[in-house]
Amino acid sequence: MVAVHSTARGPALGGCRMWTYDDARAAVRDVLRLSRAMTFKAAVAGLPLGGGKGVIMLRPDEPPLSPERREAVLQDFGDTVEALGGDYLTAEDVGTGEPDMEVIAGRTSHVTGLATGSGDPSPWTAIGCEVAVRATLERVFGTGDPSGRRIAVIGLGSVGGRLAELLHEGGAELVVADVDQSKRELAERLGATWTDPLSAMTAEVDLVAPCALGGVLNDETVPALRCKAIAGAANNQLADDSLEAQIAERGILWAPDFVCNAGGIINICVELEPSGYDPARAETNVRVVGDSLRTIFDSAAATGTTPLTAALALGQERLRG
Ligand code: NAD
């Protein structure tokens, strides 16, 4: 399934998620929710893109797809994308990768993030996240320099692992966690303290960077937080939007996830420019994440609202053009 939430600012871009759902209703709900989030992510980042999303639904009772069946499913998805005539541009997401995009590209030209284009978005998401961490530290401590700051990174995957490296290079003292024990190696290389995900989330640190799954800010973790700020890549960090007020009441600054993790989509957008993909331009553009956050923090302070409310208002304003 493909959801096109908005084309007000340009073609609807959003990754193709291959995931297990209990039923089609749950998958439709997810694709609609995610497509709306993409509209706001692109609008707040100031990109000439709308919001869309693709979902290939796997069934819980089904054995893993054989390579032949996976290829056939991806080709069907490619036909669906092609039928939308460019209103929707696909990309990789949870459960899909570059080789899958190559298969989809056999059926439609409306595919981004191929090795011949902007490639894997994760390193760019990590750069954008590091810029977001600096902008958030700057707001709380008056300086964005991570040197000597204690920072917890949860999830050392493609984005979190690179973010941890960048923060280590910047002189931060790291506390890290991942459910995958093989990530201990990276922790050791960075001289980081290894702990479990809940302890990292509630550690006494300057900033927590959630870079694994969504829903990590919930009724259990929010009252136990001991950090001053939160800025990370994980999508949908708030289990419920109302938790943001509780976080703010506790004097903790939360940088909206969809602003922090826009680096990947900003990088993809460079490949859609008439002059084609250029990594130097991508890096310049990704660094704009810091300016977006500063605008949002300023607006929240000026209007007495939270960063999420200010970010959504900025998105609405940009959608109106
Ligand atoms: P990834 O799969 O490469 O890494 C996720 C890491 O989190 C893995 O190492 C995994 O073992 C770990 N993990 C899973 N469950 C965990 C848990 N409960 N506690 C601690 N660690 C756990 O994914 P990624 O590409 O690095 O993406 C990370 C997050 O950032 C996701 O929420 C993703 O939606 C979001 N995001 C990624 C991009 C991108 O460009 N890759 C862009 C925007 C948003």
pLDDT tens digits for range 68-101? 999 999 999 999 999 999 999 999 988 999 899 9
Given the residues 41, 53, 183, 228, select the one marked as catalytic.
53
pLDDT in tens, 253-262: 999 999 999 9
Pocket of ligand 1 (CB under 6 A): 121-122, 125, 154-160, 177-180, 183, 197, 211-213, 233-235, 261, 264
pLDDT in tens, 148-175: 999 999 999 999 999 999 999 999 999 9
**C-alpha span between 302 and 296 (Å, rounded):** 10
pLDDT given for residue 291 in this prediction: 96
Fold of the domain spanning 122-260+292-317: Rossmann fold (3.40.50)
pLDDT given for residue 214 in this prediction: 85
Distance (Å) of CA 248 to CA 48, 238, 292: 32, 13, 19
pLDDT given for residue 309 in this prediction: 96
Residues at the annotated binding site for NAD(+)? Answer: 155-160
Dihedral, 171, 311, 10, 5 alpha carbons, nearest 10: 120
Does residue 227 register a pLDDT over 90?
A: yes
Q: Which residue ranges make up each domain of the chain?
A: 2-36+50-105, 122-260+292-317
pLDDT given for residue 49 in this prediction: 97
Mutate to test the pocket of ligand 1, among 30, 158, 258, 260 (most ligand atoms within 8 A of CB): 158
pLDDT given for residue 62 in this prediction: 86
Distance (Å) of CA 49 to CA 41, 117, 181, 241, 280: 9, 17, 38, 25, 21
pLDDT given for residue 250 in this prediction: 95
Question: Do the domains 2-36+50-105 and 122-260+292-317 sit in the same CATH topology, yes or no?
Answer: yes
CB neighbour list of residue 305: distance below 8 Å, 6 or more residues apart:
299, 313
Query: How high does pLDDT run on average in the chain?
Result: 96
**C-alpha span between 282 and 259 (Å, rounded):** 16
Band the pLDDT of 275: cuts 50, 70, 90. very high
Distance (Å) of CA 309 to CA 50, 97, 233, 292, 296: 20, 33, 19, 14, 9
pLDDT given for residue 21 in this prediction: 95
Which pairing describes strands 50-58 and 2-6: parallel, antiparallel, or unpaired?
A: antiparallel
Q: How far is the CA of 153 from the centre of ligand 1 (A)?
A: 11
CATH number (3.90.79.10, 3.40.190.10, 3.30.450.20, 3.40.50.10860) of 2-36+50-105 reads 3.40.50.10860
Q: How far is the CA of 121 from the centre of ligand 1 (A)?
A: 13
Does residue 137 register a pLDDT over 80?
A: yes
Structure tokens at 47: 């990109």
Nearest CA to ligand 1 atom 35: 234
pLDDT given for residue 126 in this prediction: 98
pLDDT given for residue 236 in this prediction: 87
pLDDT given for residue 56 in this prediction: 97
